[in-house]
Structure 1
């Protein structure tokens, strides 16, 4: 396998990725994206490497405002902006001599499953889509679950964005913390990954721009399902995040589709447990191969 730096531009920002290539001819080009606040050395890179091991050229990259990529404010999570980065990555793969002419596939992990679904619904160059432990929110359900905290979170986000636009100073909170509290991901298993050497790679910043919630909370993936027109495979677990929403999303897909339900401890072990990564990547590789012929 070869690992090569891969750079491209979007909206005036330089984005940095790693292109994993098999030693022989590639079956196709896979663009990957990962969980909330993550960088290319984490879940997206794990699955990009796994797809390269199975014969695909695969790109993992840092979205704008994260990791090595440019963009302000730093640690700004914008689902539509990330989907737009994916479209730019597909264009870059189409134009690069190493991957030009190859069928392009899309793979998203966790929140990246929803971001990738949006990109796939917008970009008809994609041959097939895979969501692994994907999070597919329903905006109205999010509002109901959060109750009075929903509007309070939006108000805080709006004030944070106003402050950033006026002063250039972005309010940030930790992505994770021991004991949780005022964090982006209040999950013990998230801290066990991002907050420890297990997942806290050098390129990762444990931060989340508060203004992001003005964009993440209203983001609806369920309504995107009916707009997807390419074959799709969903890999999930009853113990991963929001399995009911994964089932609803899958049911709403009006395309050729497959699903694979694995046994996980939770959500995060999909990021680094070979016992989950291998069967997920095997299933996705087989699914993609049948659609690339």
Structure 2
């Protein structure tokens, strides 16, 4: 199916957020709001899955969260899970207000860290009708308390910014790992090379983010989900035990799809994983609006 794209902007907390709306040739079945991995932008995994959903007859939005990419907001490169969940809520409001999408159900797809963020957004927002998590990371604060040293590092960085205006950052990825946000070789091979380092992406992570991310709990949202949920994951992706315990805690209608990935990052750009994940999501989303 032919897909077209148009810019889509909206606001939250006074900041303009920049997105891309993917549209199928025919009237869309429903509207998918997507969110992606840590530090990512709309041209990366979120956009890949938005395009895949549009090829399956859905309108789909990929957008830069506040403080990232083309969106406004400060401090730049701040990874704030609850803030990102609020961004999703603002996106839903804007999608529902768009005349092209009038009356269309809104459904949700989150990739990697975005799976955990989306879980919170969906649990808190009754307007979202279904949720698919792809290689989602679902932290469980009850099972693993945050490292106090990491939380303290984030707190100090936040206090420094508030008192001096200086934003402390570290790289998101680096060839030799070191003091980075994502110390995974496969993460560098994506974000640190032409494979995934699109012009809109900044390889940086505000250290203050640790104050927000270290204690983030996605598991508490599992039992609060009331809409159908699809878990797509792999035993070679990040923390499959957390995915399994999250799935077990979901009490709404649910289904799971386990694929054979190399690791985590190939879920971002390998059609061998993207196509079946998108097919399964399309089947779920179609079932709630058909």
Alignment TM-score > 0.5, same fold: yes
Q: Provide the residue aligned with 2:279 in structure 1.
A: 282
Is 2:255 the counterpart of 1:258?
Answer: yes
Q: Provide the residue aligned with 2:52 in structure 1.
A: 50
Match of 2:182 among 181, 185, 198: 185
State how many pairs are aligned: 288
Give the whole-Å Cα distance in 1 for the aligned partners of 2:166 and 2:70: 20
1:31 aligns to what SS in structure 2?
strand
1:227 aligns to what SS in structure 2?
coil
Match of 1:20 among 19, 22, 36: 22
Match of 2:123 among 109, 117, 121: 121
Give the whole-Å Cα distance in 2 for the aligned partners of 1:64 and 1:13: 7
Give the whole-Å Cα distance in 2 for the aligned partners of 1:217 and 1:257: 28
Is 2:153 the counterpart of 1:151?
Answer: no
Pairs within 5 Å for 1:205-224 = 205-224=202-221
Give the whole-Å Cα distance in 2 for the aligned partners of 1:201 and 1:288: 29
1:93 aligns to what SS in structure 2?
helix
Q: What does the per-residue CA deviation read over 1:3-42, in whole Å, with 9 as the maximum and x for residues that have no partner? A: 0000000000000000000010100000000000000000
Pairs within 5 Å for 1:59-208 = 59-143=61-145, 150-208=147-205
Point out where structure 2 has 5 or more consecutive residues left out of the alignment: none
Match of 2:39 among 18, 37, 40: 37
Point out where structure 1 has 5 or more consecutive residues left out of the alignment: none
Give the whole-Å Cα distance in 2 for the aligned partners of 1:140 and 1:103: 34
C-alpha distance 36-96 of structure 1, shift in aligned 2 (>3 A): same
Shift of 1:52: 0.1
Work out whether residues 142 and 217 of structure 1, in 8 Å CA contact, stay in contact via their aligned partners in 2.
no
Q: What does the per-residue CA deviation read over 1:199-237, in whole Å, with 9 as the maximum and x for residues that have no partner? A: 000000000000101110100111110011100000000
2:48 aligns to what SS in structure 1?
helix
Work out whether residues 7 and 16 of structure 1, in 8 Å CA contact, stay in contact via their aligned partners in 2.
yes
Shift of 1:198: 0.3
Name the Cα RMSD after superposition: 0.8
Q: What does the per-residue CA deviation read over 1:36-84, in whole Å, with 9 as the maximum and x for residues that have no partner? A: 0000000000000000000000000000000000000000000000000
Q: Structure 1-normalised TM-score?
A: 0.97
Give the whole-Å Cα distance in 2 for the aligned partners of 1:96 and 1:109: 25
Shift of 1:287: 1.0
After TM superposition, the structure 1 stretch with the greater mean CA deviation from structure 2, 56-65 or 218-227, is 218-227
Q: Structure 2-normalised TM-score?
A: 0.98
